[in-house]
Amino acid sequence: MRSVVSSMRTLPELQADFLRAILDSSAEGISDAIVGGIIGPQRRLAVYTNNVETNFRAALLSIFPAIGRLVGDAYFTQCAREFRRAHPSRCGDLTPAGTAFPQYLAARHAEDRFRYLGDVARLEGLYHECLTAAEHPAFDHTKLAALAADDYDHVLFGLHPSARLFTSPFPAVAIWEANVASDAEPELIDLDRGGDRVLLIRRDYGVVFRSLGVGEYAFLESLSHGTPFAAAIAAASDAADAADAAECDASFDAVAALPAFVQAGAIVGFTMGVSRA
C-alpha cells in the first residue's frame, strides 16, 4: 500500500516530507517514496542530511572563524547543528543564516566563564557586515563649506555604509585578533583588563578598528540614528560627563569630533534636517 501512497504524493507533498526528513531527521515519512536496493533509503537520505550540515557549518565558520578556533571543531559542529535547528536557513544564500548566531552563543553561555563568546561572535558578524557593505563616494567638502553657520545644528550627518559600532565589557577585539591571524602565537588575555568601544570602518579593502571614547561612541551612535548634529554633540557631552562622574577618563572634544570622523572616512555626507525654529 505504501508504494501506492507514495506515487500519489503531489510535488509539494513530496518536498514537504523530504525536507522534514533531512532538516528534522524524521526520515520515516519519506522512505516509501525512495527507491530501495542494496543501499536503503535511510542511507541515501543521510548523504543529503550530511550535505545540509556540512554546508551550514561551513557558511557559519566563514563568518565566525575566531569562534571556530576558540571553541574547537567538535563543539563548533555541535553548536552549528543546534543553532540550525532553532534558526533554519530562510534563504538560498547561506550568508544571512548566521545572523542570530551571536545571540545564540550569548544565551548559551550567559552564566558561565565563556560569557565573552557572544560578544566575539557579534564582533565577527559586524566585521563581515563592514567588509561587504556598499561603497560610498568620499565626503564632498565643498557642500559643507556652502553651509551657513546657523544651519549646522540641524544637519544630519551620515555614516559610511560600512561603519559599525561595537561595545563590549570584554576585550573582544584582542580575543578576535588572537584567533584570526594564522601565525599568531597563543596569548593569554585577561578578561578583566577592560572592555572595548570601537568603530569598524572599511578602508583600502580592509576593515580598520578605531578605539572610541565614551563621548565619541555616543556621538557616532546618535548620528547613526539620524540625530541632528547639535543634539548628537549634546548626547556625546552628556555621556562623557556621566563617565567622568564615574571616574572614567572620557573627555569629548566637540570641536574636533566632526573633522576627525570625516578624516577617518566614517562620516561621508549630510542632509539638512528640519529646523527647530
Partner 1 sequence: MRAITPASARRESVPAAAGIGLRAQHHREVQGGAPTIGWFEAHAENYFAAGGPAIECLERIRAHYPLSLHGVGLSLGSTDPLDECHLENLRRVIARFEPGLVSEHLSWSSFGGRFANDLLPLPYTQEALAHVSTRIAEVQDRLGRQILIENVSSYLQFTGSEMTEWEFVADVAARSGCAILLDLNNLYVAAHNHGFDAARYLQAMPVAAVQELHLAGHSSVDCDGGELLIDTHDGPVCDAVWDLYRAALRRFGPLPTLIEWDTEIPTLAILGAEAAKADAVCRELYAHAA
In the complex, the residues that contact partner 1 under the rule CB under 8 A are 3, 6-7, 9-12, 14-16, 18-19, 22-23, 32-35, 37-41, 43-45, 47-48, 51-52, 55-56, 59, 88-95, 97, 131-135, 161-162, 202, 205-206
Residue closer to partner 1, measured from CB, 124 or 216:
124
**Nearest Cα to 82, choosing from 61, 108, 58?**
108
Residue closer to partner 1, measured from CB, 162 or 168:
162
Q: Tell me the chain's radius of gyration from C-alpha atoms.
A: 25
- What is the closest distance, in whole angstroms, from the C-beta atom of residue 245 to partner 1 in the complex? 41
- Residue 94 makes CB contacts below 8 A (sequence gap 6+) with 55, 56, 59
- What is the closest distance, in whole angstroms, from the C-beta atom of residue 83 to partner 1 in the complex? 14
Residue closer to partner 1, measured from CB, 80 or 235:
80
Residue closer to partner 1, measured from CB, 138 or 147:
138
- What is the closest distance, in whole angstroms, from the C-beta atom of residue 123 to partner 1 in the complex? 17
- What is the closest distance, in whole angstroms, from the C-beta atom of residue 158 to partner 1 in the complex? 15
| Cα(163)–Cα(143) distance, integer angstroms | 22
Residue closer to partner 1, measured from CB, 30 or 233:
30
- What is the closest distance, in whole angstroms, from the C-beta atom of residue 258 to partner 1 in the complex? 25
Q: Do residues 113 and 126 lie in contact, with contact meaning Cβ atoms separated by under 8 Å?
A: no
- What is the closest distance, in whole angstroms, from the C-beta atom of residue 212 to partner 1 in the complex? 23
Q: Do residues 264 and 201 lie in contact, with contact meaning Cβ atoms separated by under 8 Å?
A: yes
Bridge partner list, 207: 202
Q: Do residues 174 and 246 lie in contact, with contact meaning Cβ atoms separated by under 8 Å?
A: no
C-alpha cell at 238: 552628556
**Nearest Cα to 119, choosing from 167, 76, 59?**
167
Residue closer to partner 1, measured from CB, 33 or 257:
33
- How many beta carbons lie within 10 A of that of residue 268, not counting itself? 19
| Cα(237)–Cα(224) distance, integer angstroms | 17
Residue closer to partner 1, measured from CB, 47 or 272:
47
C-alpha cell at 123: 564582533
Bridge partner list, 211: 198
- What is the closest distance, in whole angstroms, from the C-beta atom of residue 58 to partner 1 in the complex? 9
Residue closer to partner 1, measured from CB, 23 or 234:
23
| Cα(121)–Cα(144) distance, integer angstroms | 38
* DSSP label of 135: P
C-alpha cell at 105: 552563543
- What is the closest distance, in whole angstroms, from the C-beta atom of residue 128 to partner 1 in the complex? 9
